[in-house]
C-alpha cells in the first residue's frame, strides 16, 4: 500500500488546501471527498517523486561537469598536506620540547588539521 493510501484509508486524514475549496475533504466525507483526496495525494506523490528524480539527475550532471573540469579528480576539500618541516616539529613535540600549540604555530596549521596529520603520520610511522 502506498503512503498516500495509508493516509486516506487507514489514518482517515483529511486534506485541506487553503486556497482551493475543491480540495477540502473536511466538508465532503462522501465518495466524492474520498475520490478527491485520493486523486490529490496521487498527484502530489507523483510530483514529489519526479522532483526527486530530477534533483538526483541534475546533481549527477553537475558532479560530472565538475569532474570534467578538474581532470577527473574528485570533488570536495583537497587533502591536507604535510608542511616541509613537519617531521622536525613533530619530533620536538613528541619529545616534549614544545607544546602542541607552539607546534601548530610553527607549522601554520589549525588544531584539527594538526591532529589529523599527526594521526596519519603515526599510522604511517607504525607500519
Residue 76 within any structural domain of the chain: no
Q: What is the mean pLDDT of residues 64-93?
A: 87
Domain count for the chain, please give it.
Answer: 2
pLDDT at 66: 86
The string over 106-124, giving b where at least 16 C-beta atoms fall within 10 Å of a residue's C-beta and e elsewhere, is bbebeeeebeebbeeeeee
More confident residue, 73 or 95: 95
In contact, 28 and 36? CB cutoff 8 Å = yes
Is the residue at 80 inside a domain? no
Handedness of CA 20, 22, 28, 30 (dihedral sign): negative
13 and 58 in a single domain? The answer is yes
Residues 19 and 48 in one domain: yes
- Does 59 have pLDDT greater than 80? yes
pTM above 0.85, yes or no: no
Mark whether 64 and 11 lie in a shared domain: yes
Domain that holds residue 90: 86-126
Q: Which residue has the higher pLDDT, 73 or 58?
A: 58
In this structure, are 59 and 91 located in the same domain?
no
Within 10 angstroms of residue 52's Cβ, the number of other Cβ atoms is 10
Amino acid at each position: 500500500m502506498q503512503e498516500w493510501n495509508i493516509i486516506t484509508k487507514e489514518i482517515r486524514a483529511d486534506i485541506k488546501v487553503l486556497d482551493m475549496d475543491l480540495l477540502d475533504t473536511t466538508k465532503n466525507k462522501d465518495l466524492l471527498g474520498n475520490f478527491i483526496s485520493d486523486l490529490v495525494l496521487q498527484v502530489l506523490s507523483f510530483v514529489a517523486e519526479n522532483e526527486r528524480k530530477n534533483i538526483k539527475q541534475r546533481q549527477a550532471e553537475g558532479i560530472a561537469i565538475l569532474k570534467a573540469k578538474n581532470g577527473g579528480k574528485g570533488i570536495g576539500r583537497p587533502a591536507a598536506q604535510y608542511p616541509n618541516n613537519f617531521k622536525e616539529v613533530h619530533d620536538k613535540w613528541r619529545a616534549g620540547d614544545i607544546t602542541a600549540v607552539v607546534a601548530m604555530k610553527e607549522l601554520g596549521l589549525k588544531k584539527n588539521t594538526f591532529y589529523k596529520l599527526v594521526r596519519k603520520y603515526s599510522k604511517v610511522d607504525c607500519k
